[in-house]
Structure 1
Amino acid sequence: MINEKRTLVKRFLITLCLVAAGAASANAGGLKSLENFVRTVQTGKADFTQVVTSPAREGQAPRVKTSSGRFEFARPNRFRFDYAKPFVQTIVADGQTLWLHDVDLNQVTARKQAAVLGATPAALIASAADVRALEADFVLADAPDQDGLQWVLATPRSRDGQLQSVRVGFRATGDTAADAGALAVLEILDSFGQRSVLTFKQMQHNPALAASAFVFKPPAGADVIRQ
């Protein structure tokens, strides 16, 4: 269970990396949708489902793990993931500290946000005013439209990390003007062949979010680990 939760945290950071990948300049298609998203969307919230598929071992079927919850963010520097299933876990970045609350273990881990995310593209989802800086970390290219979505392929320039490639999907059309261009899917492929797909539903752009959503206080009695 602990290893699964650590993996979840890694997937969370990679997820932010993917969203940040939409921050580059572009001409058309998915890249343009990504540019518009980062430039115009200052706050957002959505329900999400995350499906992680591990490569099949010899004689065994691939392992599939599904989780779900709620995602919120506010530029700059603040975001929140509330995992509800299969276990409850909360990740909050308040601009200074990244908090991870594991309810089952009654444990809170606190890390300096700049130290954890500052050297990675993950930080740019919340802090970068000029998203063109992401081009230093990713090669970004339009990918073919598929399933009613406009796609971008993001490939890390560095080959030393765990991330192999990312596809970011935005809705090409929708029932309303707000639906068109909404962030819909993130697909992550790591260097071990493990694929993580996050599907966002009921994505809202620029909703009014309470400042308290990005404030975290460790529950009474919780074991707090500061790193």
Structure 2
Amino acid sequence: MKYLLLLLSALSFFVNAEESDYAKLNVFLSKMDELSASFVQHTFDGKGALLQTQKGKLKLKRPNQFRWESEQPYEQLLVSNGKTLWQYDADLEQVTMQPLNTKLSATPALLLSGNIAQVENEYDLYAETLQDETHFVLIPKQVDALFDRLRLEFDATNKLMRMVIQDEVGQKTIIRLADVSFKKSISEQDFEFIVPKGVDVIRSE
């Protein structure tokens, strides 16, 4: 979850993306005005040992709306209506509420629900084609970013199937998507949060 709050972010080298790579990514992202999927997230340490597995559901709607709902092993919800960000921890009976930071490096989930101009401003980028798959590797331009690189992997039908996030100490998070749908049927209410009775509210600026 921490990568979704940085972002549902010392470079070891510098990569200049050609304009065509940004344009190519924009083609993929433009098909994702709305997206819903289930996910399995595995986090590994620098030696490859599994640290944690999470399962849940994801919904995105451009611009800047997302709902990242972890269901296993514990319930946690990250949701934004484009202006406000809520993080709800059911076990703690606590919700943190704050204005949404629309910098993609602060909230990588926004990368999927934002726009290509933001991507070009905040990331160096290169594209790879592996068999029938298209991969985009994004490297933050900010030296104080809290992850080294983010890889978006699309299958032969141009559906996002996997995201890989690697941080400065080698920890890697792999998010695999399933049941991906682009149907325009997501309710605006999915990106709002009503505080349950008895839950503590922490407001952060």
Residue number among 38, 41, 57 corresponding to 1:50 in the alignment:
41
Residue number among 130, 134, 137 corresponding to 1:145 in the alignment:
130
Alpha-carbon displacement from aligned partner over 1:20-57 (angstroms, at most 9, x marks no partner): xxxx98547x972x32232232111000011000124x
**Within 2, Cα distance between the matches of 1:52 and 1:108?**
24
Alpha-carbon displacement from aligned partner over 1:151-175 (angstroms, at most 9, x marks no partner): 1111222222111112110012xxx
Given that 1:47 and 1:202 are in contact with CA atoms closer than 8 Å, whether structure 2 keeps it comes out as: yes
Change (3 A) 1:127 1:206: same
In the alignment, structure 1 residue 64 sits paired with structure 2 residue 51: yes
**Within 2, Cα distance between the matches of 1:197 and 1:104?**
24
Which residue in 1 is equivalent to 2:168?
191
SS of the counterpart of 1:119? coil
Q: CA deviation at 1:97?
A: 1.1
Which residue in 2 is equivalent to 1:36?
27
Given that 1:50 and 1:198 are in contact with CA atoms closer than 8 Å, whether structure 2 keeps it comes out as: yes
**Within 1, Cα distance between the matches of 2:92 and 2:143?**
35
Q: CA deviation at 1:191?
A: 0.5
In the alignment, structure 1 residue 204 sits paired with structure 2 residue 184: no
Q: How many residue pairs align between the two structures?
A: 194
Which residue in 2 is equivalent to 1:171?
155
**Structure 1: tracts of 5 or more residues without a match:** 1-7, 18-23, 173-179
Given that 2:33 and 2:113 are in contact with CA atoms closer than 8 Å, whether structure 1 keeps it comes out as: no
Given that 2:64 and 2:102 are in contact with CA atoms closer than 8 Å, whether structure 1 keeps it comes out as: no
Which residue in 2 is equivalent to 1:73?
60
TM-score w.r.t. length of structure 1: 0.77
Change (3 A) 1:55 1:124: closer
Residue number among 119, 129, 142 corresponding to 1:134 in the alignment:
119
Which residue in 2 is equivalent to 1:20?
none
Q: CA deviation at 1:76?
A: 1.9
**Within 1, Cα distance between the matches of 2:68 and 2:104?**
18
Which residue in 2 is equivalent to 1:110?
97
Change (3 A) 1:169 1:125: closer
Deviates more, 1:81-90 or 1:131-140: 131-140
RMSD: 2.4
Instruction: Give the counterpart letter for 1:215 in structure 2.
Output: E
In the alignment, structure 1 residue 12 sits paired with structure 2 residue 4: yes
Change (3 A) 1:193 1:184: same
**Within 2, Cα distance between the matches of 1:81 and 1:195?**
19
Instruction: Give the counterpart letter for 1:92 in structure 2.
Output: V
Whose helix proportion is higher, 1 or 2?
Answer: 1
SS of the counterpart of 1:141? strand
